[in-house]
């Protein structure tokens, strides 16, 4: 049985959570810039990323066979995708952006 140092465990923990949460954070804060209102859509996104993360870490020869931490990462991802913003400035920016989109003519109609 291989023993791991504290540094290897900490680096592995940070790497696992960084890889696991990067896609939901990018979707939530850089692409959509708002929470996902439909819980089924958020759950589907989390399930897809959960399966992708299992595949990635299996290909990287992860020591864990159960991948329990990836399940918790999927739960945190769901919370990130669904959680409304608390900052009033962010909410105001979203309202202004929605008004701007409504005032622009739709080229497809």
Q: What is the pLDDT of residue 88?
A: 62
23: exposed, middle or buried (Cβ count in 10 Å: 0-12, 13-18, 19+): middle
Q: Using the structure block, give the residue that is written with the tokens 């608390």.
A: 86
pLDDT of 47: 94
CA end-to-end span of the chain, whole Å? 65
Q: Locate 10 and state its tokens.
A: 């900490």
32-88 confidence digits (pLDDT tens): 888 888 989 999 999 999 999 888 888 877 766 667 888 899 999 999 999 876 666
Q: pTM for the whole thing?
A: 0.69
């Amino acid at each position: 049985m291989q023993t791991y140092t504290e540094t290897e465990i900490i680096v592995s923990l940070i790497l696992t959570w960084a890889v696991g949460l990067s896609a939901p954070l990018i979707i939530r804060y850089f692409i959509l810039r708002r929470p996902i209102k439909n819980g089924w859509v958020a759950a589907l996104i989390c399930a897809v990323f959960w399966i992708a993360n299992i595949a990635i870490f299996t290909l990287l020869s992860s020591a864990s066979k159960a991948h329990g931490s990836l399940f918790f990462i999927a739960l945190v991802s769901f919370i990130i995708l669904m959680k409304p913003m608390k900052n009033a400035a962010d909410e105001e920016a979203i309202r202004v952006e929605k008004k701007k989109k409504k005032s622009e003519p739709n080229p497809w109609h």
